[in-house]
């Protein structure tokens, strides 16, 4: 074999090795983004009598499709703002919770913990406002304020690809703007 061909093969082999190492690094180790949600300490009363946290969650999620305008007015502001422009508000709300139920596994635990922290029962249903990264928030946050509860998840390449597929599946549908 020609000496030039050997050099080209070695260079090509080294380039392939570098590409594979870079791919493994970005897929498993590099942190592209940290999704962070901050939950404020103060809570607001929905003025709905309850006996458990699940009742409050069911009111927001489980009753979808059976909402009266009066029921919709009792929903937290962060949900009302999302469904304002929807033709069928109850259906949009139902679809949105179904999308959250179908979140990637690495994200669904955090989302469930956030929902459990945000909606709860204290003789009446109460909710806490929150802010932060998508899919629940709309702004990037580096740190939460003192006294706020923080939930975060680090997004590596593997999670980024999973999130991209999930976002693609929910973009333009229901109420979650991503």
- pLDDT tens-digit readout, 69-111: 666 666 666 566 655 655 555 566 566 666 677 778 888 888 8
Say whether both 103 and 48 belong to one domain.
yes
pLDDT tier for residue 155 given thresholds of 50, 70 and 90? confident
Say whether both 115 and 90 belong to one domain.
yes
> Does a structural domain hold residue 123?
yes
Tell me how long the chain is.
178
Say whether both 93 and 104 belong to one domain.
yes
Highest averaged pLDDT of the listed ranges 26-35, 103-112, 157-166: 26-35
Say whether both 127 and 40 belong to one domain.
yes
The percentage of residues in the chain with a pLDDT greater than 90, rounded to a whole number, is 15
> Does a structural domain hold residue 50?
yes
Domain boundaries, position 53: 32-170
pLDDT attached to residue 154: 87
Max Cα distance, the chain (Å): 84
Question: Residues 118-133: what's their mean pLDDT?
Answer: 85
> Does a structural domain hold residue 79?
yes
For the full predicted model, state whether its pTM sits above 0.85.
Answer: no
pLDDT attached to residue 65: 45
Say whether both 88 and 114 belong to one domain.
yes
Please give the tally of structural domains in the chain: 2
pLDDT tier for residue 173 given thresholds of 50, 70 and 90? very low
> Does a structural domain hold residue 175?
no
Say whether both 26 and 36 belong to one domain.
no
pLDDT attached to residue 19: 96
Say whether both 46 and 25 belong to one domain.
no
Least confident of 30-34, 76-80, 120-124, 130-134: 76-80
Say whether both 62 and 21 belong to one domain.
no
Say whether both 17 and 79 belong to one domain.
no
Say whether both 19 and 96 belong to one domain.
no
Return d(Cα 156, Cα 33) in angstroms, integer: 7
């Amino acid at each position: 074999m020609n000496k030039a061909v050997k050099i080209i093969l070695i260079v090509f082999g080294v380039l392939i090795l570098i590409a594979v190492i870079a791919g493994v690094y970005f897929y498993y180790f590099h942190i592209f983004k940290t999704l962070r949600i901050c939950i404020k300490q103060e809570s607001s009363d929905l003025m709905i009598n309850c006996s458990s946290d699940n009742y409050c969650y069911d009111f927001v999620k489980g009753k979808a499709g059976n909402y009266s305008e009066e029921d919709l007015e009792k929903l937290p502001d962060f949900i009302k703002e999302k469904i304002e422009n929807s033709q069928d508000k109850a259906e949009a709300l139902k679809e949105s919770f179904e999308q959250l139920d179908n979140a990637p596994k690495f994200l669904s635990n955090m989302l469930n913990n956030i929902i459990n922290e945000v909606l709860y029962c204290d003789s009446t249903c109460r909710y806490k406002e929150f802010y932060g990264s998508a899919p629940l928030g709309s702004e990037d946050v580096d740190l939460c304020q003192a006294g706020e509860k923080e939930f975060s998840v680090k997004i590596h390449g593997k999670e980024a690809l999973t999130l991209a597929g999930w976002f693609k599946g929910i973009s333009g549908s229901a109420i979650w703007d991503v």
